Amino acid sequence: MEILVIILAGILIGASVYLMLSKSLLRIIIGTGVLSHGILLMLLTMGGLKRGGIPVLDDSVQSYSDPLPQAMLLTVIVITFALTAYMLVIAIRVYKELGTDNVENMKGVPRDDD
């Protein structure tokens, strides 16, 4: 199972890189989201999957899943949410101000330096 999940995570990461390298703003945003999904899966798998009960104290349970990656990944999820929302808003603002969503065209838009 773990190997399968790692491969899936690798595919997600690879695809996210492809999305992020494209020219369109929306694809870049979705790319970062997908990247974080891939990394989530990857890190969760590092501690081994399904190795015990859910990490909540219970006298009848002998072994627990690794709680540490879960705690760290919880923060990853929340931060990713903030990051995605932030990028979304940057995209909106940039699109409004510059009138293009092609990142290749954004450089060289004249700044008013006066």
Partner 1 sequence: MTLIHFAILLPVIAAVFIGVLYRYYKDVHLGWFVLPVPVLIVAYLFTLIPTVSSNQVIFESMQFMPRIGMNFDVYIDGLSLLFAILISGIGALVVLYSIGYLSHYEKLGNFYVYLLIFMTAMLGVVLNDNVLMLYLFWELTSISSFLLIAFWFNRERSIYGAQKSMLITMFGGFLMLGGFISLSLITDTFSIRGMMEQIPAIQENALAPLAIILILFGAFTKSAQFPFYVWLPDAMEAPTPVSAYLHSATMVKAGLYVVARFTPLFAFSELWVWAILLIGLVTLVWAAFNAVKQDDLKAVLAFSTVSQLGLIMSLLGIGALGVHSGASEQVFTIAVVAAVFHLINHATFKGALFMIIGIVDHETGTRSLKRLGGLMTIMPISFTMTVITSLSMAGIPPFNGFLSKELFLEAMFSISEADFSVLADVSVLFPILAIVGSIFTLVYSIILIRGIFLGKTQPETPKEPKEAPMLMLISPIVLTVLVIVFGLFPNILSGTIIDPAAMGILNTSEPLNTEISHWHGWDSPALWGTVAIVVIGALMYLFRNTWMPVYRFGNKIFTINNLYDQGLMYSRLGAEKITDGYMSGYIRSYLVYIFTGFAVLAVITMINTDMTFEWDTASAITIPEVAIMLIILAALIAILVTASRMVSIIMFSVIGFSLSLLFVFFRAVDLALTQLAVEAILTSLFLLAFFHLPKRARHEERKRFRLNNMIISVAVGATSIIFGIAAYSNRLFDSISQFYIDNVYDLASGGNMVNVILVDFRGMDTLFETLVFGLAGLGVFILLRLRVNRKGENEFEEHA
Partner 2 sequence: MNLKSTLKKLGYAKVHKQMNDVFLKYTAKVVFLIIITFSINLFFSGHYTPGGGFVGGLLAAAAIVLLLLAYDLKTINKMIPFDHKWLIALGLTLSVFVPLVLMIFGQPFFTHQALYIELPIFGEVPIHTAVFFDVGVYITVAATTLLIITLLATEQAMSDSEGADRS
Residues in touch with partner 2 (CB under 8 A) = 54, 56-57, 74-75, 78, 81-82, 85, 89, 92
Per-position b or e across 46-58, b if 16+ CB within 10 A of its CB: eeeeeeeeeeeee
Residue whose CB is less far from partner 2, 18 or 81: 81
**CA dihedral in degrees (28, 34, 40, 45; nearest 10)?**
-130
For the CB of residue 98, give the shortest distance to partner 1 in the complex, in Å.
11
- How many residues interact with partner 1 (rule CB under 8 A)? 83
**98 counts as binding partner 1 under rule CB under 8 A:** no
**Amino acid letter, residue 41:** L
Q: What is the C-alpha separation between 35 and 91, in angstroms, rounded?
A: 18
Q: 109 contacts which partner out of partner 2, partner 1, none, CB within 5 to 8 A by kind?
A: none
Q: 32 contacts which partner out of partner 1, partner 2, none, CB within 5 to 8 A by kind?
A: none
For the CB of residue 113, give the shortest distance to partner 1 in the complex, in Å.
11
2-20 vs 25-46: helix axis angle to the nearest 10?
160
